[in-house]
Amino acid sequence: MQLILSWPVRLLIVAILLFSVAVDGAGYIYRAVNHYPPAGNVPGLPPNYFGWQLYIHKGLDLAGGTHIDYELTNFPSGQSRADVQQRTIDVINKRVNALGVSEPQIRGAGNNNDRITVDLAGVTADQAQKVIGRVTKLVYTKWVKDSNPANTSGLHPGYKPQLVGLTGDDISSASASIDQNGVAWVVNITFNSGGAQTFDTLTRNNVAACPGDPGTNPNAGCPERFLTIWLDLTQEDINNWDSPGVQAQLLQRYDSGGKLLVDAITDTEISGGQAQISGGAAGFTQTAANDLATGINSGSLPVDLKVLDVTQVGSTLGAESVKLSLAAGVLGLTIVVIFMMVYYRLPGLLASLALVFYAGAVFAVFKALPVTLTLAGITGFILSVGMAVDANVLIFERFKEEVRAGRTIPAAVDAAVRRAWPAIRDSNSSTLITCVILGFIGPPQVLGFAVVLGIGVVASLFSSIFVTHNLLAIVLSSASMRRTALLGADRARIT
């Protein structure tokens, strides 16, 4: 037990104490240094200490927001799934940035790189899904004759669209603006060099499609001259073009559930890679134009996304849970401290001090790592307080026995720590193993709990063995403290 009472260990304890005070009090240190009041809103919080932002990171169930699990389907063949997943994450990231969410978390998951989970604070599920899922792939088509006699109505009767190999991927940037007449919102797009070339060829061919005057009756006369922009139109949609109901569905505007964006006649060849998408007869609203520009800018998703589950938590719902859980935690801690002091007297008091040290250190670790706290995580923390007491109880019960067996008090403390150690080690390592298994094998919802409980177990071991024992040794070095009544060992003598 020489190790426990050695100076390096005591220095370590002091270092952890200073670290905890600095991290836990980071906000207050910042306020004090900048002469801000100790409470209320002040600019610059949480403070940034050399790139370290120290504050409690709240999970969505506490902060409010939306969690979505997506499954990725239709992987493009011949590409590494991990790369595709990463590209998808990048695209989602860009789209989400438009929402202005703080700390969006978009992570890959799944055994086969086929999952992505998205956590967005302060956003409703509806908003999130619109931004992530709705605006996807911009697709250009031209029109070709349809051999199916059933095709007698729709946008261009007797014709069906054909993909031309030009998509949103060929666009280098897009922006929303008012058109040159100053009335309607349009989206200006700039093609990359490959896209510009394709677009140039396409428009040239279109203009040359029907020689003569296209202006007289363009719709009836020459569907080949039309260039149409769709969102998300797939080859499958075109194959089903003549099935009943498909056209009607597709031809609705994209913001009413269809896929048609613009169907425009080509008047002139467009070279130079600049084009404009107008909203057609109805025009774009400012929001619609902006959404579309954002969607195009963030690129298209290389895969299809399927929503597996969605969790949306209201903003104050979480705050209430925090309040209740913290109240429960403080209440629990207080009861434990009172109990320990009544039952174990002086050692109980020292163990309670160690417990406060423990709580402070654990919170500092949560802030510094950072660990995202969820409701289950807070419970894990409260629970680990109970476990933190356990090692002390083992030692103190053993201490009573050793005093009863006739040892002097300092010797009894030493023997108690030494003899209680195997039980403490084995029992805590079993809990730690459970935590690791929970974290790796258990369902993702319990990860936060496992991490918090695991950190709590390690910290509680340290505080109950090292801190309590050192405090006891220091206090017991004064002879006036070595009284059985103070140490709660008197009962042992009477029986």
Partner 1 sequence: MLESPEDKEAGVVSADEPEADVEDTDEEAEEEEPVEQAAPQPPPPIEKVLAPQRVRKLDIVSRRNWFFLLSLLIIIPGIISMSTRHFLLGIDFAGGTEFTVTFTNNPSVAQVEDGVAAENIDGTVISTGGGGYLIRTPPLQPAQQTTVLNDLSERVGPIDRTKLSILEVGGTIAGETITRALLAVVAAALAILFLLAIRFRNVPGGWRAGFQFGGSALAALLHDVFLLTGLFSIMGAVLGLRIGEIDSLFVTAVLTVVGFSVHDTIVVFDRIRENLRVSQRLSFEQVVNLSIMQTAARSIITSFTVVLVLVAILVAGGATLKGFALALLIGIVSGTYSSIFNAAPLLVVWRRLQPVR
Q: In the bound complex, what is the minimum distance in angstroms from residue 483's beta carbon to partner 1?
A: 6
Q: Of the two residues 236 and 426, which places its CB atom closer to partner 1 in the complex?
A: 426
- Of 132, 133, 154, which is closest to residue 143 (Cα–Cα)? 154
> Quick one: which of 83, 103, 213, 320 contacts partner 1 (CB under 8 A)?
320
- Closer residue to partner 1 (CB): 149 or 422: 422
| Residues 69, 107: Cα–Cα separation, whole Å | 10
Do residues 307 and 70 make contact, with C-beta atoms less than 8 angstroms apart? Answer: yes
What tokens does 354 get? 């160690």
Q: What is the dihedral of CA 82, 87, 92, 94, to 10 degrees?
A: 150
372 binds partner 1 (CB under 8 A): no
Tell me the C-alpha distance between 312 and 125, whole Å.
6
SS3 338: helix
* Distance in angstroms (rounded) separating the CA atoms of residues 220 and 183: 29
Strand 304-313 versus strand 65-73 pairing type = antiparallel
Q: Which CB atom, from 147 or from 495, has the smaller least distance to partner 1?
A: 495
Question: C-alpha distances in angstroms, 455 versus 10, 283, 470, 477?
Answer: 21, 57, 22, 32
Rg (alpha carbons) of the chain, rounded to whole number: 34
> What residues numbered 233-292 form the site for partner 1, per CB under 8 A?
none
CB of 429 to partner 1, least distance (A): 7
Nearest CA to 223 among 147, 138, 161? Answer: 161
Q: Which is nearer to partner 1, 239 or 429 (CB)?
A: 429
| Interface residue with partner 1, options 431, 463, 464, 470 (CB under 8 A) | 431
Residues 58-77 that bind partner 1 (CB under 8 A): 64, 69, 71
**CB of residue 86 vs partner 1: minimum separation in angstroms?**
22
Site string for partner 1, 95-134 (x = CB under 8 A): ------------------------------xx--xx----
Binding mask 452-471 for partner 1 (x = CB under 8 A): -x------------------
Smallest distance from partner 1 to CB 364, Å: 21
Among residue numbers 149 through 208, which ones bind partner 1 (CB under 8 A)?
none
Comparing CB distances to partner 1, the nearer of 134 and 204 is 134
Q: Which of residues 432-451 bind partner 1 (CB under 8 A)?
A: 433-435, 437-438, 441-443, 445-446, 449
What burial class does residue 62 get, using C-beta atoms within 10 Å of its C-beta: 0-12 exposed, 13-18 middle, 19+ buried? buried
Least distance from partner 1 to the Cβ atom of residue 277, Å: 25
Quick count: other Cβ atoms within 10 Å of Cβ 28? 14
Tell me the per-residue interface mask from 382 to 401 with partner 1, x by CB under 8 A, - otherwise: xx-xxx-xx--xx--x---x
- Distance separating alpha carbons of residues 192 and 172, to the nearest angstrom: 5
Among the residue ranges 21-29, 97-105, 207-215, 322-330, the one whose residues contact partner 1 (CB under 8 A): 322-330
Cβ(121)–Cβ(96) below 8 Å: no
Stretch that binds partner 1, among 20-28, 77-85, 207-215, 475-483 (CB under 8 A): 475-483
Residues within window 326-345 making contact with partner 1, judged by CB under 8 A? 327-329, 331-333, 335-336, 339-340, 342-343
Q: How many residues bind partner 1 (CB under 8 A)?
A: 87
Rounded least distance, CB 475 to partner 1, Å: 14
Closer residue to partner 1, CB minimum distance, 298 or 352: 352
457 close to 381: Cβ distance less than 8 angstroms: no
CB within 8 Å of 160: residues ≥ 6 apart = 143, 144, 146, 151, 238, 241, 242
